Chains A and B, each alone.
Chain A
């Protein structure tokens, strides 16, 4: 059975094929209603707006239907049921499961017990492959995924989207520039893994040192709880904020991405500049998730 659990399970060819399928859906409207009669469980044990709604939208556009659990409170987990039992039971009701869960590794566990395909829609601080695929898809819309300079900015220690994207980009000829405050750099083990895979990774503390050379700037949220006090958080957050002023001198072809929601990392005035791609990126969640749903259900 085919599950989508982690971007690490993907070879470059798998990624390319899935993105090509998403592009066909997006630009040619092919495969419409190919999941007619199929039922998918959206098990969301953690709050989500974009991911849940875009999976629901993707499924509806393919002619399928969804049944949802929106919280732990709304499920038997509150009665002490294990996730293993939940997915075994739900497998009997549906043709596939889309799971979001606060625990890392939850989707891997679900795939071991489910008798239908499982798609990981985010497990704690772990993997979120559909986000990574739509990030890649958005870059690919503007430029080939080769011979480019990608900057990752923000909390790179705890940000799962940055980790997965960095790993996925290591399949391609990409130079990675990491821009993070001290203490929030990419974890050592990931850095080691990327370098082992032949990726050039260069670290910076000041975004202006590298901004003019970038083709892609991927901004992630910095969380208040990672800092000792509000003052130091505000200080760092301010120095990493992307504004129209800081973008003076960047490449004309630069694109700026953000997995959203943003919390002040990007000045709203940037939204009107040609570099801003984050709302398009969010919209791309639909064709990419349509392709993923088709893929796991063998269509």
Chain B
């Protein structure tokens, strides 16, 4: 059995994804954005407020047997802009990538505009375009510029 190297809080994973350098305290929100909830089957390790040379404190998430694709990972950019993604195969980092602010978030964030059609019983998911200015609701044009975490569904 593989031993946990000294200094590591959680075991290394054989295959899967490690998301490192997440803004401290945002690990659970990162998982929520990625659609990983208590009802999904991934085996997870989560470390929060870990000491970091560059960030002071950071969170780390390890997801076993699931390789996140870049588009999935980029959705977390707004709350964890410095996150790095390591794809692990047979205990080795085979791919390393940063996150980018781009793409569309569907069903992740609730529109703060109570008059928006996405806040009704219509059969649609909220849709936000990730822009440099913030999150832009594709239905009502509301732009969320701050406190994005509080709008996560």
Binding site for B on A (CB under 8 A): 6, 8, 82-84, 101-106, 108-109, 112, 123-127, 188-189, 192-193
Contacts and interface: CB of A to CB of B under 8 A. Distances in A.
Interface stretch (B67-75, B86-94, B139-147): B139-147
Contacts of B139: 104-105, 108-109
Interface in B104-135: 113, 115-118, 120-124, 133-134
Chain B interface size band reads 20 to 34
B133 A109 contact: no
Given A82-B122, A84-B122, A106 B133 contact: no
Q: Which 7 A-B pairs have the closest CB atoms?
A: A105-B139, A104-B140, A105-B117, A105-B140, A189-B143, A103-B117, A106-B117
Contacts of A123: 117, 140
A125 B115 contact: yes
Given A82-B121, A82-B122, A103 B115 contact: yes
B145 A103 contact: no
A124 B115 contact: yes
14 contacts: A82-B121, A82-B122, A82-B123, A83-B117, A84-B122, A104-B113, A104-B141, A105-B117, A105-B118, A105-B141, A109-B124, A124-B115, A188-B145, A189-B143
Nearest to B124: A109
Contacts of B134: 189
Given A103-B117, A125-B115, 10 more contacts: A82-B122, A82-B123, A104-B117, A104-B139, A104-B140, A104-B142, A105-B138, A108-B138, A109-B117, A192-B133
Interface of B: 113, 115-118, 120-124, 133-134, 137-143, 145
Given A82-B122, A84-B124, A105 B133 contact: no
A29 to B, nearest CB: 37
Contacts, number: 57
A293 B123 CA distance: 28
Nearest to A163: B141
B136 to A, nearest CB: 9
A112 B124 contact: yes
A6 B141 contact: yes
B123 A84 contact: yes
Nearest to A82: B122
B105 to A, nearest CB: 15
B141 A127 contact: yes
A283 B66 CA distance: 61
Given A109-B117, A189-B145, A126 B122 contact: no
B37 to A, nearest CB: 26
A112 B140 CA distance: 14
Contacts of B133: 189, 192-193
